[in-house]
Amino acid sequence: MPPDVSSVPDVSFVIAAYNAEATLDRAIASAIAQKGVSLEIIVVDDKSRDGTLDAARAYPEHIVRVLALDKNRGPGGARNAGLDAARGRWIAVLDSDDAVFPGRIAAMIGRAERANAEIAVDNLEVVREDGVVEDAMFPRQYLEGLGEISLATYIAGNVVFESKFNLGYLKPIFLRSFLDENRLRYDEELRIGEDYILFAEALAMGGRCVVEPDIGYAY
């Protein structure tokens, strides 16, 4: 039987966590604080050696679903486990040491659905390790001028800001049905750059990506 549409969350947050005891609560709290959307939060413990798993399991099961991997699979493998378990219409990957702003997902889904797009990205706030907030990662005017991101734009945009940041740092949300129908998952052989490759593959498969120029993600 098909799933009950009323029980399908707007978004599934997938948080892959490895030795993230110190930052996990902040990431989870920022996901819980989303406004205007229904959500589920999936934390995938990638065989951590600290208190990450206990920190995740401290939340009620109806708030945070916890997957404990029996061996370390790396960031791509942990995220894939979360993707396979996700029920939301949209997928938002949140790094365990990052955070999102309360209106982020509602703004991104709204923009994507108005454009009939399968992918959406937004601007990022850069926070140094000492907690000092730097400027936005990308000039707002640059993102407004893009409007949408094609595969060619995405590849070229990884040169434009090579002195500091490039479009590979973007944190997209994906329509889950698009990922599933195209069998798109992270390359588990990669320990770095696996998110760039997935985004590029999604664009290559015809995914339409719209740009929300406001800051929604704290990197």
**pLDDT tens for residues 47-93?**
999 999 999 999 999 999 999 999 999 999 999 999 999 999 999 99
218: three-class secondary structure by DSSP: strand
pLDDT at 88: 98
Q: What is the 3-state secondary structure (H, E, C) of 107-159?
A: HHHHHHHHCCCCEEEEEEEEECCCCCEEEECCCHHHHHHHCEECHHHHHHHHH
Sketch the domain layout of the chain as residue ranges: 5-218
| Fold that domain 5-218 belongs to in CATH | Spore Coat Polysaccharide Biosynthesis Protein SpsA; Chain A (3.90.550)
pLDDT recorded at residue 190:
79
pLDDT at 81: 97
What gap in Å lies between CA 53 and CA 151, rounded to an integer? 37
The beta-strand segments (E) located in the chain are 11-17, 39-45, 64-68, 90-93, 99-100, 119-127, 133-136, 148-149, 173-175, 209-218
% pLDDT > 90, the chain: 74
Q: What is the pLDDT of residue 4?
A: 47
pLDDT on residue 6:
54
pTM: 0.90
**CA gap 219, 213 in Å, rounded:** 15
Average pLDDT for consecutive 10-residue bins of the chain (219 residues)?
A: 64 97 96 97 97 97 96 95 97 96 98 97 85 80 91 78 69 97 92 87 97 94
Distance CA 138, CA 135 (A): 8
